[in-house]
Amino acid sequence: MGSLNIENVKKAFGPVEVLKGIDLEVNDGEFVVFVGPSGCGKSTLLRVIAGLEDSTSGRVVIDGDDVSVTPPAKRGIAMVFQTYALYPHLTVKNNMGLGLKQAGTPSAEIERRIKIASAMLSLEPYLERQH
């Protein structure tokens, strides 16, 4: 359990400003739901909180600590994605690379991107695991 404070968080993708200064306080034990039309920025905000995406400006504070530049694995929070497809017959690594493989991405590039993502999430020890 803990608290979350979001202070004037903005996120732009190029010229498109998706988060336009979000302020939110979530106290210990509170349950919060983000509701809004598709594309309004719900997932982007969750990704910024989790550290999977950098905000353009503003602060994310967890339990009083500014984690705005803290890597995701060190934030002590978890995220479950709205859509996921994990194949039990594939290793963690092959699950991670499947979308890229199907898109025809060269295997060296797949390796490179799995390395970056797994380092970000401290998943390296599990890459060869089946589940």
Ligand X SMILES: Nc1ncnc2c1ncn2[C@@H]1O[C@H](COP(=O)(O)OP(=O)(O)OP(=O)(O)O)[C@@H](O)[C@H]1O
DSSP letter, residue 65: E
The CB-of-56 to ligand X minimum distance in angstroms stands at 12
| Binding test (CB under 5 A) with Mg ion, winner from 3, 5, 7, 43 | 43
**Closer to Mg ion at the Cβ: 47 or 93?**
47
The site partner of 83 among ligand X, Mg ion, none (C-beta below 5 to 8 Å per kind) is none
Encode 15-53: b = buried (16+ Cβ within 10 Å), e = exposed: eeebbeebeeeeeeeeeeeeeeeeeebebbbbbbbbbbb
Judge contact between 22 and 6, C-beta under 8 A. Answer: yes
Output 1 or 32, the one with its CB closest to ligand X.
32
Is 14 or 88 the residue whose CB approaches ligand X more closely? 14
Q: Confirm or reject binding of residue 118 to Mg ion (CB under 5 A).
A: no
Answer yes or no: are the C-beta atoms of 59 and 8 closer than 8 Å.
yes
Shortest Å, Cβ 110 to ligand X: 19
Give the nearest distance from C-beta 20 to ligand X in angstroms.
11
Instruction: With beta carbons less than 8 A apart as the criterion, state whether 58 and 9 touch.
Output: yes
Chain residues in the site for ligand X (CB under 6 A): 13, 18, 36, 38-44
